[in-house]
Amino acid sequence: MAMEMRLPAARKPLSERLGRDTKKHLVVPGDTITTDTGFMRGHGTYMGEEKLIASVAGSVERVNKLICVKALKTRYIGEVGDIVVGRITEVQQKRWKVETNSRLDSVLLLSSMNLPGGELRRRSAEDELAMRGFLQEGDLISAEVQAVFSDGAVSLHTRSLKYGKLGQGVLVQVSPSLVKRQKTHFHDLPCGASVILGNNGFIWIYPTPEHKEEEAGGFTANLEPVSLADREVISRLRNCVISLVTQRMMLYDTSILYCYEASLPHQIKDILKPEIMEEIVMETRQRLLEQEG
């Protein structure tokens, strides 16, 4: 049996470790962004005393004449076309309420859901009664944002075979601002597992299904036992994601993959130790910089 002992040590500030030259313009609520009145004010700012003042804590983004502040720690703010992973909290009359780490519960209408078998027909009263058979409270689903209501609530749809109920896997909850916006959020990693990077910060890591099921429409959860090798890959990926998050790195398929490869020499449980975490993420960062530059 191995026992670990750790003495308290001062934490090094993040910027020192990164050694970055390009500093983001970070502001806290109440900070003046600029006194130039020529700019249009976007989200996260307000005009006060001839100055543009920030109302959230985050980084300043400027697009031509528009200045907005993107909050670093925020709830998920839905945008049309985002992929989200959510948990069903309520089954209501013609819809499900889904928890997606946003300010209001998201809504999945019965009419936005694919019927098993891919039929296209009007949803009848029987469909309504059979709702619980499809999705119950506590189930995890992957869906796409169809529309955003005026109060900020998000309406989801699962109108494609790649969306639907999620079966066996591991859910990692991170801040939504760390998930990079990409063309596709469903990745089959070459290391042997698949990952869904939800824009709302819910990351789902699951074993790659052997063959794509066409008919199910994503409702039957595959409950066959997962092999040990797959489980190890998934745990390692999960620990890698957590180490990337603690070091505040953006999450996308390449960064997760590089981090996985960098972590291979270590044992899975060692990845969560602060020193090893730093080491792995440093290596990942190097590789990413090389790849870009």
Partner 1 sequence: MKETPLSNCERRFLLRAIEEKKRLDGRQTYDYRNIRISFGTDYGCCVVELGKTRVLGQVSCELVSPKLNRATEGILFFNLELSQMAAPAFEPGRQSDLLVKLNRLLERCLRNSKCIDTESLCVVAGEKVWQIRVDLHLLNHDGNIIDAASIAAIVALCHFRRPDVSVQGDEITLYTPEERDPVPLSIHHMPICVSFAFFQQGTYLLVDPNEREERVMDGLLVIAMNKHREICTIQSSGGIMLLKDQVLRCSKIAGVKVAEITELILKALENDQKVRKEGGKFGFAESIANQRITAFKMEKAPIDTSDVEEKAEEIIAEAEPPSEVVSTPVLWTPGTAQIGEGVENSWGDLEDSEKEDDEGGGDEAIILDSIKMDTGVEVSDIGSQEQKSYKELGTRLAEKTEGDAPIILSDSEEEEMIILEPDKNPKKIRTQTTSAKQEKAPSKKPVKRRKKKRAAN
Binding region for partner 1 (CB under 8 A): 1-10, 87, 89, 99, 105, 137-139, 171, 267, 273, 275
Q: Least CB distance from residue 167 to partner 1, whole Å?
A: 12
158 CB-near residues (< 8 Å, 6+ apart): 108, 112, 113, 114, 141, 142, 143, 144, 164, 218
Task: Enter the tokens of residue 102.
Answer: 């946003």
Least CB distance to partner 1 at residue 293 (A)? 30
Min dist CB 6 to partner 1, Å, is 5
Of 67 and 277, CB closest to partner 1 = 277
**Cβ closer to partner 1: 79 or 137?**
137
Q: DSSP alpha helices (H): ranges in 101-161?
A: 125-129, 131-134
β-bridge pairing 66-71 and 40-41: parallel
C-alpha Rg value of the chain to the nearest Å? 22
Taking the complex as a whole, the smallest distance from the CB of residue 220 to partner 1 amounts, in Å, to: 16
CB atoms within 10 A of CB 56: 17
d(CA 206, CA 226): 10
Which residue's CB is nearer to partner 1, number 68 or number 237?
A: 237
Tokens for 105, please give them.
Answer: 């519960």
For partner 1, which is the closer residue by CB, 57 or 268? 268
Cα torsion through 277, 85, 179, 234, rounded to 10: 30
Identity of the residue, 151 or 290, whose beta carbon is nearer to partner 1 in the bound complex: 151
- Cβ 116 to partner 1 shortest distance, Å: 21
